[in-house]
Structure 1
Amino acid sequence: MIRTAGPGRRFAPVLTATLAVALGVAASTLVTEPAAAAPRGHGDARWRFDDSAVTMSQVNQIIGADGLQRSGTDGSGVGVALVDTGVVPVEGLRRTRIVEGPDLSLDSQAPQLLHRDTFGHGTHLAGIIAGTPARDGSGFTGVAPGATLTSVKVGAAAGIADVSQVIAAVDWVVAHRNDDPAHPVRVLNLSYGTDGTQDYRSDPLTHAVENAWRAGIVVVVAGGNGGVGSPLANPATDPFVIAVGAADPAGTLRTADDRIAEFSSRGTDARRVDLVAPGRSMVSLRNPGSYVDEMYATARVGANYTKGSGTSQAAAVVSGAVALLLQRRPDLTPDQVKQLLVDSARKLPRADVDGAGAGELNLTRALTLSPRGAAQAWAPSTGLGSLEAARGSVHIAINGIELTGERHILGPFDAATWAARSNAGTAWVGGQWMGYGLTGDGWALSGTAEAFSGLSWSGLSWSGLSWSGLSWSGLSWSGLSWSGLSWSGLSWSGLSWSGLSWSGLSWSGLSWSGESWSASVWG
């Protein structure tokens, strides 16, 4: 069910995509991937997968989640924050415990887009993390179907987002991780990254995720989809967090023949992924009418599912697995969780060493190991570096004018002031981030744990909702152009928020039925 957080406060899903104008590092690459009918026995573990579709039933077998689910370990009591493109109430999520976080996206200014996953990426990942069976108990099941999913929307239609919005979202999760005492946020999934190469020890984005890690949240980050020869994306470059690469199951349930997906970034000697998880041709929940669904219809698998490939999907698998691990062993620290996953990872004899990290996720073995009092000793980030350097080549633009320099979407960004407040957990005060209202619906914080006592959860019940696809009030995905949006206070270079037009779409190497974009921000 979907929950709201008491009077004056609404939690809304996140939508994040990116533009080539925002990122555009490498040319697009086409990958031929045929359309697929619904696989036989989508919820049946006996179904053998092929090159075109990998079901969650198979993924759960590969990583050892299926046995845990049968024994009653489903992620219950564990909160997972999804900083991504939002979620919609499709079948497969209507029985999932979902909390809506703030809509920090540029979409928040258009009523018909507010809190909606118009892109489709977040809904796909939500299904992998915490998708639930239909009411008759059949069908799709994510890795941790009992987990509580908090969705924080940062990206707009087509996934556009500035790195400052992502930083604000991570700060929000840290500030509100314990608002619901029965389901505290213990995991943060961030399938986002830029091509910024600033040293992690000064980068603001890596500093934000480190602060989440130090606050007791296991941060799982997509390694990036640049392929062989590409460094990891920022903030996967930070050595504290769990950086995830994508494995290709190679058409069998035997992990011995698994390889590293060709698109998965290999990293450099300075930083490679920590481990890998299935991430190629993953069948998860379809978001009818979303950008991906309309533009890449051949990715659809039957009526309710769609295929997606990327380290985004692999990171979502690991996030769900961490929720299962923390349900069984809630005393584990983030450092101990990382140590157990790395120490237990299954070696892949047919995988290239650079892309495999410690090996493939193996929950069964992880639960047999004892933490060794792990404490990572890397040099911490200060966060005093450049916001512009954190963006790399990724910029959003209005009327051809890009947001650049030490500015976030509403004003100047002072790294020293922000870092001090982020360190103290006070970057968010009174519903504002660093003194700015980043949400478009007048959302404001009111109350803390008492708002989550279980007495004030009224909100929508997704069990009564259907999502057969929206028209988005006449928006055209092919043009991605609409006007009439207004956001008081939004300006850079004196521009007003009208005549909005996005062009040059690029997205993180993620493949949807044949289309693969290299070098973009979503992993």
Structure 2
Amino acid sequence: GGYDFGDDDGDPFPCNAHGTSCAGLAAGDLGSVEDYIGGVAHNAKLYALKISYGCSGYAYSDDMVAAWDWCVSHQYDDPCNPIMAISTSFGGGRFFSESSCDADTPTMTAAADNAVAAGITVLASAGNNGWCDSMGWPACISSVISVGAVYDDALGYIGFCIDTDSCTGEYYEACDSNWACFQTAAADMVACYSNTANFLDQLAPSNMAYTTDIAGSEGYSSGDYYDSFGGTSAASPYTAGAVACLQQAAKALTGSYLTPDEVRTTLAATGDPIADDKIPSIIKPRVNLGNAIDSLSPCQGQTMTIYNDGGGTLEVTSIDRPAWVGLLPPPPYSITAGSNQEVCVTVDCYECNGYDLARLLTIHSNDPDENPWPDGVYIRVDCPSCGPAGDLDNDCDEDMLDYSIFAPHWQETGCDIADWCDGADLTQNGQVDMYDLAEFVEEWLYGTGL
């Protein structure tokens, strides 16, 4: 879903692939096309909000304000998947402080503040001008997390056109500005084009990112994928994807989401410190998602420990589990001789649909005969549903999709705790009968607005 604020219509499909490439980095589906493996938060849900008018590539600030406000007013359109992050790879202007930036466009500053107050983390790209003491808007707004760019690998000797006001670079006639910077790119080196300042918040990978594209003339390439997306426009959605993962982990581990201030603090405290070669005194955290998740409160589920009492390394390759069971950290695990691996086992009550059930978690390793639990780990849960009792597909309402699950089990017997006949045995008496039908129809069309 989404909206086109630039042209005031319900079709946010763009005229170029910039937003599509950003979306692929943040939350694209798992993939296996050449170097594309999926987005950082590959299971996250996305809304597309187009702010530019026509195919111009330009936007009015009022449309940007409207897009951020839309996220607040539509935050819980899908109650099971609320909007938790906004990423904006767009901007302009030059600001030397957060205070001057906040005062420049009060409506945009208010929109950012309102989103943060609603629990939404707002991120924006710092810009690609090569500035050493300033950044673009809206990244400079004090309640927005501004994101600069680092390389994620040794990419060789490369150069970029930058602004003549940069503290680095040299004359280069091929650029419109006649000014460019050149580097022998290495992992965790700040890109010379990336705007920096003492009020920059985060750094994230950027250049030569393999991501999604629009096939045809509106895309960067002729196919569905592009292998050279970059700039701080890539760094912002990368960080937004990390925020989505962090929030999912926080919900699983602590039972609640982090506030935007807690997200900001966590990313800053757990990121890897990187000095900018342009201004070595400016050291900023490069997002480290593993560290961020590890910093969260102890497991709020059940902890199981996998022991290796043998003389070699135990390689746990996978654990069979239903979708509603989470494992932190997820497998695979490499457990050296005499050591162990603690795993936090959590249950997503929305996914498990809110009824009593039990499952086995089967552990697969390179030494199955000595597996600590060769027959699996037994798990039983009793979760509240996010919707009424008849919300069998757990989308927080009761409609024909739920009926299509209920009906095939009518008069079925032998229902048990394994899944209570896909939840159709609402009374959990071992069969799907009139008592279950009475419960099912009691809140028919709940949550549908009909």
TM-score, normalising length from structure 1? 0.46
- The aligned residue for residue 340 of structure 1 is 266
SS in 2 for 1:159: coil
**Residue 178 (structure 1) aligned to one of 72, 76, 95:** 76
Matched with 1:106 is 7
SS in 2 for 1:245: strand
Q: Provide, for residues 155-185 of structure 1, a one-character-per-residue CA deviation record: whole Å limited to 9, x for no partner.
A: 2324232111111111111111112110000
Q: Retained in 2: the 8 A contact 1:248–1:278?
A: yes
1:328 paired residue among 249, 270, 274 = 249
Cross-structure match for 2:114:
211
Structure 1 ranges of 4+ moved more than 6 A = 135-138
Match in the other structure for 2:102: 200
The residue correspondences of 1:52-451 to structure 2 (distance < 5 A) are: 100-106=1-7, 108=9, 114-134=11-31, 140-155=37-52, 156-195=54-93, 197=95, 198-201=100-103, 203=105, 204-229=107-132, 231-251=134-154, 257-267=187-197, 269=198, 271=199, 273-293=200-220, 297=221, 304-330=225-251, 331=256, 332-348=258-274, 351-353=277-279, 357-369=283-295
Letter in 2 for 1:339: T
Alpha-carbon distance, 1:453 to partner? 4.0
Report if the CA contact (8 A) 2:6-2:50 is conserved. Answer: yes
Superposition deviation, residue 355 in structure 1: 9.2
Task: Assess, with a 3 A threshold, how the Cα gap between structure 1 residues 456 and 287 changes in structure 2: closer, same or farther.
Answer: farther
Deviations 1:6-45 (A, max 9, x none): xxxxxxxxxxxxxxxxxxxxxxxxxxxxxxxxxxxxxxxx
2: CA distance, partners of 1:288 / 1:315 = 23
Q: Report the residue type matching 1:178 in the other structure.
A: Y
SS in 2 for 1:276: strand
Asked if structure 2 preserves the Cα contact closer than 8 Å seen for 1:245 and 1:356, the reply is no
1:143 counterpart SS class:
coil
Cα deviations by residue, 1:124-163 (Å, 9 ceiling, x for unpaired)? 0111011113599995311001101111122232423211
Contact 2:212 2:224 in 1 (8 A): no
What are the ranges of 5 or more consecutive residues in structure 1 without an aligned counterpart? 1-99, 372-448, 459-523
Aligned pair count reads 267
3-state SS of paired residue (1:122): helix
Distance (whole Å) between structure 1 residues aligned to residue 236 and residue 400 of structure 2: 30
> Take 2:400 and 2:129, find their aligned partners in 1: how far apart are those partners?
42
Shift of 1:310: 1.2
Deviation at 1:305, TM superposition (A): 2.5
Q: Alignment partner of 2:242: what SS?
A: helix
Q: Which amino acid aligns with 1:187?
A: A
Deviation at 1:195, TM superposition (A): 0.5
The 8 Å contact of residues 26 and 237 in structure 2, kept in 1 or not, is answered as yes
Question: What RMSD in Å do the two structures reach over aligned CA positions?
Answer: 3.3
Q: Is the 8 A contact 1:128 1:317 kept in 2?
A: yes
More strand by proportion, 1 or 2?
Answer: 2
Paired letter, 1:276 = L
Structure with the bigger RCO (C-alpha within 8 Å, sep 6+) is 1
SS of alignment partner, residue 246 of structure 2? helix
Among all aligned residue pairs of Structure 1 and Structure 2, give the percentage whose two residues are the same amino acid. 29
How far off is 1:104 after superposition?
1.3
2:13 and 2:399 map into 1 onto residues whose CA distance is 23
From the superposition, tell whether residues 263 and 207 of structure 1 become closer, same or farther in structure 2 (CA, over 3 Å).
same
Per-residue deviation, 1:457: 11
Amino acid at match of 1:228: W
What is the rounded CA distance, in whole Å, between the counterparts of 1:153 and 1:455 in structure 2? Answer: 32
Q: Within 2, Cα distance between the matches of 1:457 and 1:160? A: 43
The structural deviation recorded for 1:248 is 1.6
Q: Compute the displacement of 1:276 (Å).
A: 0.3
Tell me how far 1:257 sits from its aligned partner.
4.5
Q: Which amino acid aligns with 2:201?
A: D
Query: 1:164 & 1:194 partners in 2: Cα distance?
Result: 14
Q: CA deviation at 1:106?
A: 2.4
Q: Which residue identity does 2:225 align to in structure 1?
A: N
Matches of 1:342 and 1:318, distance apart in 2: 12
Q: SS of the counterpart of 1:179?
A: coil
Give a deviation string over 1:247-292, Cα, whole Å, max 9, x none.
122417xx9852111211123x4x3x21100011211112122445
Residues 131 and 142 of structure 1 are in contact (CA less than 8 Å); yes or no, is this contact kept in structure 2? yes
Distance 1:209 1:339 in 2: 17
C-alpha displacement of 1:367: 1.9
* Alpha-carbon separation, structure 1, partners of 2:281 and 2:137: 17
Contact 1:265 1:355 in 2 (8 A): no
